[in-house]
Homo-oligomer: A and B are copies of this chain.
Amino acid sequence: MSKLISVEDAVANISDGMSIMAGGFMGCGNAHNLVQAIIDAGLKDLTMISNDASMPGYGIAKLVEQRRVRKLITSHVGLNPQVAVQMNAGELEVELVPQGTLVERIRSGGAGLGGVLTPTGIGTLVADGKPVITVDGREYLLEKPLRADVALISGYRVDKNGNIWYRGDARNFNPVMATAADVVIVEADHLVELGDIPAEDVVTPGVFVDYIVTGGSL
The yes or no answer to A67 lying at the interface (CB within 8 A) is no
A131 — nearest CB in chain B belongs to which residue? B133
CA distance A138 to B145 in the complex (A): 12
8 A Cβ contacts from A107-164 to B: 108, 111-119, 133, 135-136, 138, 140, 142, 144-145
Which listed residue (B117, B167, B168) contacts A117, Cβ 8 A?
B117
The one of B111, B119, B135 in contact with A142, judged by C-beta atoms closer than 8 angstroms, is B135
A142 to B117 CA separation, bound complex (whole angstroms) = 10
Give the residues in chain B near A117, CB-CB below 8 Å.
108, 113-117, 142
Please, which residues of chain B bring their CB within 8 A of the CB of A200? 165-168, 171, 201
Q: Which residues of B contact A108 (CB under 8 A)?
A: 117
Task: Kindly state whether residue A52 has any CB partner on chain B within 8 Å.
Answer: no
Q: Is A187 an interface residue (CB 8 A)?
A: no
Chain A interface size band reads: 20 to 34
Segment 88-122 of A: residues with Cβ below 8 Å from B = 104, 108, 111-119
Q: How far is the CA of A75 from the CA of B168 in the complex (A)?
A: 36
Cα distance, A111 to B140, chains bound together (Å): 13
Having A113-B116, A135-B144, A168-B200, one finds 19 other A-B pairs with CB under 8 Å, namely A104-B111, A108-B117, A112-B118, A112-B119, A113-B118, A114-B117, A114-B118, A114-B133, A114-B138, A114-B140, A115-B117, A115-B133, A115-B140, A133-B142, A165-B200, A166-B200, A167-B200, A171-B200, A201-B201
Which 4 pairs show the lowest CB-CB distances between chains A and B? Answer: A114-B117, A114-B140, A114-B135, A201-B201
Can you list 9 pairs linking A and B with CB atoms under 8 Å apart?
A108-B117, A112-B118, A112-B119, A114-B117, A114-B133, A117-B142, A135-B144, A167-B200, A168-B200
